[in-house]
Amino acid sequence: MATVATIAILAGLLKQSHMVMGQFTANGNEAMDLKSCEVGPEITRHQCSENVNAIMESELPKTFQERTLTYGDLRFTFLTEFAVRVEQSKSHEFEDGDTLIFESRREFLSTSDPVEVKVSISPNGEILELETSQVRLVYGSLKEPCKGFPPLTEGTISIDVFEDGEHFETWKWRMDDPKNLYGTTRTLDNVNGSCPLEPGMISRSGWTVIDDTRSPLFEEDSNESKEIRWVSERSTKEPDADFTFFGYGTKYRTMMGLYVRLCGRVPIPPRFSLGIWWSRWWPYSANELKSLVQDFEKHNVPLDVLVIDMDWHQVAYDMMERGVVDFSGQPIGWTGYTWNETLFPDPTTFLSWCHEKGLRVTLNLHPAGGVQPWEKNFPEIATALGTDPSRVQHNYVPFNIGDRKFSYAWFDHILRPLEKQGIDFWWLDWQQKPVTSIEMLNPTIWLNHVFFNDMERRRPTAIPLADGIRGLIFHRWGGLGSHRYQVGFSGDAFTSWESLRFQVYFTLTAANVAFGHWSHDIGGFLAKEATPPELFTRWVQWGAVSAIFRTHAWRKQYLERRTWKYPKRYFRTMREAIRFRLSIVPYLYTLNRLFFESGVAPIYPVYYDYPKDDDAYRFKTQFFLGESVLVVPATSSLGGKRFLEKQTYLPPGSWIEWHTGKQLNGPLKTWRRAALEDLPIWVREGTILPMAFPGKRMDDTKEDPLVVTWFPGQRLMSGSAYLYTDDGVSTDYKLSIGRRYSSIELLSKCSLQAAKCGFTVAGATGSYRGIPKARAYVFRVLFAPPPETVMLNGVQIPRSYYSDTTEDDPTLEWSLSRSGSRIENLPKTNSKGFWSYDPLRLAIEINVPSQPIATDSVFSVKWSDTSVLLESLKLCHSGLYGDLRALLGVKDKMKEVDAELGKLQEKLQVGSQTMGAEWLHGMQEAKDILLGLKDAKAYESY
């Protein structure tokens, strides 16, 4: 006879002669009669009854019970086919609430589909097997016979992972995982190069375990609540076990998607935060900061956020250096909330001036010292907490962020007055002990939680007709769950090439815990000497494609972060990178929406898309920026040479090198060259990127005109993309009902045989406060010859011509920053639009006047001869553009070949006005001239 184990309500048993089998599913058709119990020779009736009585009926929603199995003092909850929560409690008291890590688990269980699980029990009743299509959990006396329900050990529980029907890996209790691909860490303070990282959610082993046994519990929450959701200690101080196993195999994207659904989605940051931040630890006065902003404007360098370090408040560096502490034991002057009136005599007026300039302002906070009696608003907070401030002598209000009363009083009486003066968000620079008044509550993540939610729920809204202000804080990593509160501050690293390289790798691994918004100190923080111009330039280029662009430095005169203070070549290269950053904001913002939905960060490792390719793991400092853009930042010195030789791995597919136009097919490991001006980026053939003309602020960098940049490649590859927009400041994007955001689809369809490409901007779907009714477009078809005709909405539009192809900075304009302004300055020869050709960048540029966003806009380009087109596309993707940029970058040093340079300029001028075979012949001659000029000594010079 078969033995029987107890299974929770709705779990049925299909009795067989030697094995009890069943499923627990949505319909519950196999419900078990819990009063019956068949007894076999290996189990007594008493033990069987004991098992039946162990069933704990839950009061949770029905959908939760349908995926739960209670077996003695254990409870198994299948979240998905590959994720299972395992709890063991001798008291049979299980926790159904959300925890600090699993903030959204209850919501997930109530809204997701149930899981079908096969249940098997061995004939002697000692082994339980639970199996889905992707995992098989085995529990019981795996090594030695044991009556009852043994504790969880290596010998009592294991989980097998399957992928595509094949066994992938086996996990056992407390097993180490040497194949984990890491997550992130709290800080890079004092790090020079690399440092240890915490485990992440992604592993080449194909499994990850989160131990949630001691996590604090969230209280019940309502989306309508304007209060901060608080936590409490678990009622059971020493639970036996509460862990969640994920067996995802190589489905890394699926894993990250589940992680954010269980642990909270990653909010979309305010649009302005994707712009340019200025930060430096320096005792700036209000007037000095005004002068700094004016210098940004004078040098045409964009700026969006002023980060003001601790000198905004009263400080006492001389006393601090002598070891004087405040009443809390913290260095005196480290914590402060009262303006330094010597530097900021009228902070309200200064902040109003910043806002008039379109800037946002954040202040540094070191809150560990509590509120000292000399702070301006000390009487208010003391009174709010029930203390008579007039009777306080040598006393203070201790910092206790775990206490709700203190926290609300602190926000309302200390921080809110500063916000009313004009502070937009806060920089939380917590560096103290990792404990609070609530057991197992880490103060770093809890500060992040209360600040973010205070901003979204409690701060008065200034946005009419919006749900609320979008949260934004600037903080340190506080462990799993911190992804719910962007943006991260990585800390005070040393300035070195090693630190730069590690920051790139560090950012990629952070994607493995969904912490995709790290803000690094561009240029580094600590150094014993001035930052080399080349190192700072490469750091700025890396910052241009990172999540947040923010320069920073230590309080030393020799550490310069004003880009215009560097030699002209470096300054112009850095400014170009900064402008490129703003030009890709529409693309970055769209990626942030995808991050919110999918859990895959905008910047993520190559192995997410190629998990079975070893080279995807070996090349640790190249990454995807979205699915079709591969970035290979330069993180080593040129060593006095003109070009850096850098090995690059191209995954399967066909890839176009943006700064040269060279097209190569992967998988391929190849050595490529990058001059100082080059930011190595590869774009998948057929890619479409929504971009913009960069302004002096994010508020000036609009999607009108929307710059659509298209890389059709040698094969005229069709493609698609979409642009996401919303109001950029509110939380309306989160609404599941009454959608308040918009998207448009960008589609290309090409025929190489017909020598024709069509492009459609689909009518916008959705709406939001302030959505434009119409939008102009600039289409840039890169690395293609000039067409014979261009049609817009069925009407042929005329061609305009460049009057000059000899610009001051031809090497720096591949990002649109200057070529964009040239397009706008072209004569508007036709109100229905016009097109032109840029022979330096081998780009067709189509200028489309304002069109209603609710309707489709269609344009097409047609070439005259397929065979000529094939040869022309081959030439355009041979690296010709890169050779042109490289040559023109040193033309002033090549006086010995002035005649040849003159011929080259003539060919380029002709190339701007011809098409078809004539264009091809002229550009082939230009290439021949180039090949000869590359032999000149100056070409390789630095």
- What DSSP string runs through 167-181? EEEEEETT---TTB-
Among 140-144, 259-263, 652-656, which is the least confidently predicted range? Answer: 140-144
Question: Using 50, 70 and 90 to split pLDDT, how confident is the model at 462?
Answer: low
Query: How far is Cα 840 from Cα 423, in angstroms, rounded to an integer?
Result: 45
Q: Taking 60 as the threshold, does the pLDDT of residue 29 lie above it? A: no
- List residues bridging with 859 in a β-sheet: 759, 792
Determine contact, residues 788/821, Cβ cutoff 8 Å: no
Determine contact, residues 353/290, Cβ cutoff 8 Å: yes
Long-range contacts for 914-919 (Cβ within 8 Å, ≥24 apart)?
Answer: 914/786, 915/785, 915/786, 915/787, 915/788, 915/837, 915/864, 916/785, 916/788, 916/863, 916/864, 916/865, 916/868, 917/865, 917/868, 919/785, 919/786, 919/872
Determine contact, residues 389/378, Cβ cutoff 8 Å: yes
Query: How far is Cα 12 from Cα 23, in angstroms, rounded to an integer?
Result: 6
Q: Taking 80 as the threshold, does the pLDDT of residue 226 lie above it? A: no
Share of the chain above pLDDT 90, in %: 70
Across 445-461, average pLDDT: 88
CATH superfamily of 685-866: Golgi alpha-mannosidase II (2.60.40.1180)
The pLDDT assigned to 33 comes to: 27
Residue range 868-902, pLDDT digits in tens: 999 999 999 999 999 888 887 776 666 666 677 77
Helix segments in 759-879, DSSP class H: 819-825, 866-876
Query: How far is Cα 5 from Cα 70, in angstroms, rounded to an integer?
Result: 10
Query: How far is Cα 907 from Cα 875, in angstroms, rounded to an integer?
Result: 15
Question: Using 50, 70 and 90 to split pLDDT, how confident is the model at 2?
Answer: very low
The pLDDT assigned to 513 comes to: 99
* CATH 3.20.20.80 describes domain 271-601: yes
Q: Where are the domains of the chain?
A: 14-175+207-247, 271-601, 685-866
The pLDDT assigned to 910 comes to: 75
Query: How far is Cα 31 from Cα 75, in angstroms, rounded to an integer?
Result: 18
The pLDDT assigned to 390 comes to: 77
Q: Taking 70 as the threshold, does the pLDDT of residue 225 lie above it? A: no
Structure tokens at 704: 């009108």
Among 36-50, 326-340, 383-397, 569-583, which is the least confidently predicted range? Answer: 36-50
Q: Taking 50 as the threshold, does the pLDDT of residue 822 lie above it? A: no
Q: Higher pLDDT residue, 527 or 15? A: 527
Handedness of CA 900, 902, 908, 911 (dihedral sign): negative
Residue range 291-318, pLDDT digits in tens: 999 999 999 999 999 999 999 999 999 9
Residue range 504-562, pLDDT digits in tens: 999 999 999 999 999 999 999 999 999 999 999 999 999 999 999 999 999 999 999 99
**Gyration radius from the chain CA atoms:** 31
Across 363-369, average pLDDT: 96
The pLDDT assigned to 872 comes to: 95
Q: Taking 50 as the threshold, does the pLDDT of residue 810 lie above it? A: no
Nearest to 268 by CA among 883, 740, 884, 921: 740
The pLDDT assigned to 803 comes to: 52
Cα 917 to the chain's mean position, in Å?
46
Across 93-108, average pLDDT: 94
The pLDDT assigned to 671 comes to: 97
Across 325-350, average pLDDT: 96
Q: Taking 60 as the threshold, does the pLDDT of residue 12 lie above it? A: no
Instruction: For residue 623, give the 3-state DSSP assignment.
Output: strand
Residue range 768-794, pLDDT digits in tens: 988 999 999 999 999 999 999 999 999
Cα 142 to the chain's mean position, in Å?
43
Query: How far is Cα 383 from Cα 86, in angstroms, rounded to an integer?
Result: 47
Residue range 470-512, pLDDT digits in tens: 999 999 999 999 999 999 999 999 999 999 999 999 999 999 9
Q: What is the mean pLDDT of the chain?
A: 86
Report residue 151: phi and psi, to 5°. -65, 160
Q: Taking 60 as the threshold, does the pLDDT of residue 683 lie above it? A: yes
Q: Taking 80 as the threshold, does the pLDDT of residue 458 lie above it? A: no
Q: Taking 90 as the threshold, does the pLDDT of residue 402 lie above it? A: yes
The pLDDT assigned to 39 comes to: 26
Structure tokens at 120: 């098997």
pTM (2 decimals)? 0.91
Share of the chain above pLDDT 70, in %: 85
Question: Using 50, 70 and 90 to split pLDDT, how confident is the model at 738?
Answer: low
Instruction: For residue 311, give the 3-state DSSP assignment.
Output: helix
Q: Taking 60 as the threshold, does the pLDDT of residue 454 lie above it? A: yes
Q: Taking 50 as the threshold, does the pLDDT of residue 612 lie above it? A: yes
The pLDDT assigned to 146 comes to: 60
Residue range 118-175, pLDDT digits in tens: 998 887 778 899 999 999 999 997 666 666 688 899 999 999 999 999 999 999 999 9
Three-state SS string across 48-98, please?
A: HHHHHHCCCCCCCCHHHHCCEEEECCEEEEECCCCEEEEEECCCCCCCCCC
Across 338-364, average pLDDT: 98
Across 678-700, average pLDDT: 94
